Amino acid sequence: MTQNTAHLEHWTLDELAEGTLSEMERTRAETHLRQCMLCTAELEASRAVIEALSSLPQFAPSASFADAVMARVVMPAAAPEAVKKRRWLPQTRRGWMLVLAAGFAPLAPVVPFLAWVFSHPGVTLGSIWSIGSGWVMESVWGATVRGAEWALRSGMAQWVVEQGGRLPGGYAGLLAVAVMALLAIPVSGWAMVRLLRAPTGELAHAH
């Protein structure tokens, strides 16, 4: 019952009409109904609705109802890319092991070769690095010389000179750009060598 109207709640009347109200609540509700005609009328209306609903015919689904519903359900087809990926990817642990073994198979001859190379006392990582860095510097210098020769033969150098004369600074500006470009090449090479020679622990990583 509410404190303002002193009438029974609607859910109390519904549960009383259905017979699901607890014994204590039912006793209190019946005591109130003997003194309140309005709540009694609402209770009779609820009982009339429940009785009318109970008298309606009830139908049970047929045995094939579930199968008929599932037959109408359209399952989305797998995407072609997903099917293709599943087709090529291994599906078992043994398959993955075979793939890894096939991937590392070409490296098998390299391992004994490296072991044989490093078994010599004069071969160290420093010597290999020295030879490799010297080869890189020679390759860069050779590419620079060949590029200069090509520029001279193709007339590109003459075109650069003509375009440089049209710059705001004239040939002085062109000379400054050329000097900066020539300086940038060895500086960038030196920076790359320093970066590759630096120990891993000394490199600063941005997070």
Kindly list the domain boundaries of the chain, sorted by start residue. 10-55, 81-123, 124-202
DSSP string, 45-62: HHHHHHHHHHHS---PPP
> What Å distances lie between residue 160 and 134, 167, 173, 190, CA to CA?
32, 11, 12, 28
pLDDT of 207 strictly over 50: no
pLDDT of 197 strictly over 70: no
Give Cβ neighbours of residue 126 (< 8 Å, ≥ 6 apart).
none
Contact 151, 200 (CB under 8 A): no
> What pLDDT digit, counting tens, does each position of 136-169 carry?
888 888 887 887 777 777 777 677 667 666 666 6
- Between residues 77 and 13, the one the model is more confident about: 13
Give the per-residue pLDDT at 203. 47
Contact 25, 12 (CB under 8 A): yes
Give the per-residue pLDDT at 37. 92
> What pLDDT digit, counting tens, does each position of 70-117 carry?
888 887 765 565 555 556 666 777 777 877 777 777 766 766 766 666
pTM assigned to the model: 0.29
> What Å distances lie between residue 57 and 44, 45, 48, 49, 62, CA to CA?
22, 21, 16, 15, 15
